[in-house]
Amino acid sequence: MAAVLRKLIQGRLPALAGVLCRRSGNEGHLFLNSSGSTLMQPRCGYSSPTESVIVEMDKATGVALLKLNIPPVNSLSLPLLTELAIVLDKLEMDKHCRGLILTSAVPNIFSAGLNLFDMMDKPNEHYSEFWRAVQEIWIKLYGSSLANIAAINGSSPAGGCLLALCSDYRIMANNPHFTIGLNETRLGIVAPFWFKDTLLNTVGKRTTEISLNLGALYSPTEALSLHLVDRLVPETQLLSAATEEMGRWLQVPDHARQITKSMIRKSTLEGLLNQREADIKNFVEFISRDSIQKSLQFYAQSLQKQKQHIHPPSSSCRQQISSVTFARSPWYSLIQRS
Ligand SMILES: CCCCC/C=C\C/C=C\C/C=C/C(=O)SCCNC(=O)CCNC(=O)[C@H](O)C(C)(C)COP(=O)(O)OP(=O)(O)OC[C@H]1O[C@@H](n2cnc3c(N)ncnc32)[C@H](O)[C@@H]1OP(=O)(O)O
């Protein structure tokens, strides 16, 4: 079974694997730049603001801390997804790496989900390439043989929530301004079946039904009560809590944990692996519809308008507006009763 998981992971993006550069003079740190070309050029002792995926490897424990670093909101664009795929391949192939903690280097935001602009006003070839990259990340993360903990240090809508759902364990910073959930229907789009399956496997059918249909975004406390996340801690303790939790996962022999994980996730992974091309075709057909494009444009504009109503828009104020607009959900009480 572990071999099945490994096979799922390896052999994808083979041309890109192995091009990571290790920062000399700062052992155990991998830095990637959002422009593909710089990937090939090892650089020494740098830390430029454009690095979009930062990996800090603790060689003593074999735990990699991976930080998404694309301000302002860590939206999952095609370049970011491509880089992330390379990093994940590299970590999977590193025999010293046993665990992965996924977090964000951007204050208050884990990830805003898929980059809206990769799904708007583009040729079908772009949609197709973009969707393949989204699939790739899900396959790598959900099928990872590493112990994987999400340290959710900010809002995490839609694709951001999906990233967190791929982990084995989710710890969220207990800040009432943060929200998490699959809110796709609020944008006028539909969470694909494998987003749905990932949520379903985590929170069960009834919560999935209500959450997806209504596009609900939850506060950390709500998310905990629905088992969308496993634990809440004060923001300042998030990384130490994730590291401590990782210790618990790494006490289990890798092969036993990997085979168990594979048993539980294999059929869900195969659901997509067996029909990737059809899923891409569906996505392209759906996203390129005029009505869907209009919905996305309207939504993207509404994000802008929220800001225009507030002068000046301090970041804490903007955070509150987003939370109030998307998170305070009357349907939460429905779930509580169910
Ligand atoms: C039947 C067959 C079905 C087949 C399947 C078909 C379709 C499914 C397709 C896709 C699934 C989609 C998954 C997704 O992930 S869609 C993305 C959903 N994301 C969101 O809804 C989040 C939107 N953003 C926010 O709510 C807020 O930005 C925030 C994350 C809470 C942060 O709030 P804050 O106040 O701190 O920041 P701003 O809102 O001011 O944003 C700053 C800046 O970033 C831009 N931005 C925000 N989110 C995105 C994004 N997802 N993509 C691109 N850009 C984003 C925002 O517009 C601002 O830009 P500006 O230029 O004004 O600075």
pTM: 0.84
183 is catalytic: yes
pLDDT at res. 310: 55
Q: Is-contact 65 103, C-beta < 8 A?
A: yes
* Predicted confidence (pLDDT) per residue in 155-207, tens digit: 999 999 999 999 999 999 999 999 999 999 999 999 999 999 999 999 999 99
pLDDT at res. 309: 62
174 is catalytic: no
Cross-strand partners of 22? 30
Which residue positions in the chain have pLDDT lower than 70? Answer: 1-50, 307-338
Closest CA to ligand 1's atom 31: 322
Catalytic residue among 183, 199, 215, 238: 183
| Ligand 1 centre distance from Cα of residue 75 (Å) | 7
* Predicted confidence (pLDDT) per residue in 52-92, tens digit: 999 999 999 999 999 999 999 999 999 999 999 999 999 99
pLDDT at res. 315: 45
CA dihedral 176, 181, 185, 189 (to 10 degrees): 120
Under DSSP, the state recorded for 234 is -
Ligand 1 pocket test: which of 68, 73, 199 has the largest number of ligand atoms within 8 Å of its C-beta?
A: 73
pLDDT at res. 10: 35
35 alpha carbon, distance to own chain's centre: 20
Closest CA to ligand 1's atom 43: 72
114 is catalytic: yes
pLDDT at res. 304: 83
The complex's ipTM?
A: 0.98
Cα distances (angstroms) measured from residue 37 to each of 25, 83, 270, 284: 22, 11, 33, 28
| Ligand 1 centre distance from Cα of residue 85 (Å) | 21
DSSP character string of 34-101: SSGGGGGS--BS---TTEEEEEEEETTTTEEEEEE--TTT--B-HHHHHHHHHHHHHHHH-TT--EEE
Beta strands in 162-204 (DSSP E): 169-173, 180-181
Helix axes 290-308, 315-326, angle to 10 degrees: 130
Would strands 63-68 and 99-104 be described as parallel, antiparallel, or unpaired? parallel
- Residue 77 makes CB contacts below 8 A (sequence gap 6+) with 70, 115, 117, 118
